[in-house]
A and B are shown apart, each in its own frame.
Chain A
Amino acid sequence: MPALEPGAKVRVRLDWPEARGPAHIRTPHYVRGREGTVVRALGEFRNPEDLAFARPAPVLPLYHVLFSAKDLWPDTRPEHDVLVELYGSWLEAL
Chain B
Amino acid sequence: MPSDSIPRPRAHHDLGGVERFLCERIDLSPHTLSDFDREVDALRQVLGQKGIMSVDELRRGIEAIPEEDYLRLGYYQRWLRSIVSILLGKGIISEAELLAALEAA
Instruction: Write out, one digit per residue, whether chain A residues 3-33 have a CB within 8 A of any chain B CB (1) or not (0).
Output: 0000000000010101100101100111011
B10 interface residue, CB < 8 Å from A? yes
Q: How large is the interface on B (under 10, 10 to 19, 20 to 34, 35 or more residues)?
A: 20 to 34
Contacting A at CB under 8 A, from B47-61, are 53-54, 56-57, 59-60
Contacts A18-B9, A73-B2 given; indicate if A29 touches B16 (C-beta within 8 A): yes
Q: Is the interface of A mostly helix, strand, loop or mixed?
A: loop
Question: Are B9 and A19 interface neighbours, CB within 8 A?
Answer: yes
B34 interface residue, CB < 8 Å from A? no
Within 8 Å by CB of B1, from A18, A48, A73, lies: A73
Instruction: Write out, one digit per residue, whether chain B residues 2-19 have a CB within 8 A of any chain A CB (1) or not (0).
Output: 111010111100101100
Within 8 Å by CB of B2, from A18, A51, A53, A72, lies: A72
B84 interface residue, CB < 8 Å from A? no
Q: How large is the interface on A (under 10, 10 to 19, 20 to 34, 35 or more residues)?
A: 20 to 34
CA A12 to CA B54, docked complex, whole Å: 27
Q: How far is the CB of B17 from chain A (nearest CB, A)?
A: 4
Q: Which chain A residue shows the least CB distance to B57?
A: A52
Residues of A that sit less than 8 Å from B by CB: 14, 16, 18-19, 22, 24-25, 28-30, 32-33, 48, 51-54, 72-75
